[in-house]
Amino acid sequence: MTALPPAGRYAPSPSGDLHLGNLRTAILAWALARGTGRAFRLRVEDLDRVREGAEARQLEDLAAVGLDHDGEIVRQSERGDAHAAAIAELTTRGLVYECYCTRREILEAPSAPHAPPGAYPGTCRDLTAREREAGRERMRALRREPALRLRAEVSTWSVRDRFAGEVTGAVDDLVLRRGDGVVAYNLAVVVDDAAQGVDQVVRADDLLSSAPRQAHLAQLLGLPVPEYAHVPLAVNALGERLAKRDGAVTLRDRLALGESAEQVVERIGESLGLPGCRSARDVLERWDPRSLPSEPWVVDLPA
């Protein structure tokens, strides 16, 4: 099989319309990929939280701000065989175990020393055969399957991020397949990035803490670890992550108020210190990644 060329990507979840922060990240991902001679892939991460019509609107919005892409659009929901094969490989190597804990039990369980909040404490890691059977009976009563977790052999892992530098983060026994049978994000993103030849991952920096565990999982599966480039979030005036509740924050909202797509891109360009940009191509031609602001973009929009 011919190897795919190195690529960057953008991978939205079709849970609603893209807001200006999403579009800013998409433009930066596209510009960094194109500016470093990479292909640019699109992937729809539709394993859950799918809203009818959202995918089509998102793709239209990306095209409206000037993003093109290479190859076919990949949908995670169509990648089940590849995800299952990765879990099967880890299982064969003794790196997977069943977990019978509820989300509430995990949140209420005492964490291991020095573990980050929400890290799995390993409750089901070393159960006896009798305890495992009791756990399965409990799951049957709840009409759900046990979750499958990685039996992590390290507690931390380090990655190199283009903007954040060397980052060392916690690695816990992360979920590979949820109790509802849906493959977990951390596994799917690692497998799908490798399948698309993605060796450059640009995304918002609220996902930076996920990079070490994803890189470790890639290493376990014998997959290449991409170059990470986490960019600052867009936030509202209170410093909270930008969301639809903050008003007219999507491209379609702005168009309905009489703005053009070019004006929206111009606003995004200004947030990068690049006034006068009217398309993603303008950003590509003018943006120096070394000048990326380190602080979140505070979005203050006229109604």
pLDDT tens digits, one per residue of 187-218: 999 999 999 999 999 999 999 999 999 999 99
Is 218 annotated to bind a ligand? Reply is no
The whole-number average pLDDT for the span 240-251 is: 90
Is 229 annotated to bind a ligand? Reply is no
**Would you state the pLDDT for residue 244?**
83
Contact 230, 207 (CB under 8 A): yes
pLDDT at position 154 over 80: yes
**Would you state the pLDDT for residue 105?**
85
pLDDT at position 49 over 90: no
Percent of the chain with pLDDT over 70: 96
**Would you state the pLDDT for residue 139?**
92
**Would you state the pLDDT for residue 103?**
83
Q: What mean pLDDT, rounded, does the chain reach?
A: 93
pLDDT at position 119 over 90: no
**Would you state the pLDDT for residue 114?**
54
The three-class DSSP label of residue 282 is helix
**HSE-CB for 116 with a 13 A CA cutoff:** 12
Count of CB atoms within 10 A of residue 144's CB? 15
The verdict on whether 26 is a catalytic residue reads no
**Would you state the pLDDT for residue 115?**
60
Question: Which architecture, in CATH terms, is 81-177?
Answer: Alpha-Beta Complex (3.90)
Q: What torsion, rounded to 10 degrees, do the Cα atoms 85, 86, 89, 90 define?
A: -140
Contact 59, 73 (CB under 8 A): yes
pLDDT at position 243 over 90: no
Contact 66, 265 (CB under 8 A): yes
**Would you state the pLDDT for residue 152?**
94
Q: At which residue do the structure tokens 């931390």 appear?
A: 156
- 287 falls in which pLDDT band (50, 70, 90)? very high
**Would you state the pLDDT for residue 6?**
96
Alpha carbon distance 186, 191 (integer Å): 9
Is 277 annotated to bind a ligand? Reply is no
Using CA atoms, how far residue 182 sits from 119, 143, 204, in Å, is: 20, 15, 24
Of these residues, 105, 131, 244, 260, which one is catalytic? 244
Count of CB atoms within 10 A of residue 73's CB? 11
Is 11 annotated to bind a ligand? Reply is yes
Higher pLDDT, 105 or 266: 266
Using CA atoms, how far residue 41 sits from 109, 215, 222, 256, in Å, is: 40, 20, 22, 29
Is 45 annotated to bind a ligand? Reply is yes
- List the CATH code of the domain at 7-78+232-298: 3.40.50.620
Higher pLDDT, 111 or 4: 4
pLDDT at position 46 over 80: yes
**Would you state the pLDDT for residue 43?**
97
Is 259 annotated to bind a ligand? Reply is no
Question: For residue 168, what are its two tokens?
Answer: 């060392």
The whole-number average pLDDT for the span 33-60 is: 95
Sheet holding 227-231, edge to edge: 165-170, 156-161, 227-231, 200-204
Contact 62, 42 (CB under 8 A): yes
pLDDT at position 113 over 70: no
Alpha carbon distance 203, 209 (integer Å): 12
**HSE-CB for 186 with a 13 A CA cutoff:** 25
Classify strands 165-170 and 156-161 as parallel, antiparallel or unpaired: antiparallel
Q: Spell out the domain ranges in the chain.
A: 7-78+232-298, 81-177
Is 203 annotated to bind a ligand? Reply is yes
The whole-number average pLDDT for the span 268-280 is: 96
Contact 251, 20 (CB under 8 A): yes
Is 228 annotated to bind a ligand? Reply is no
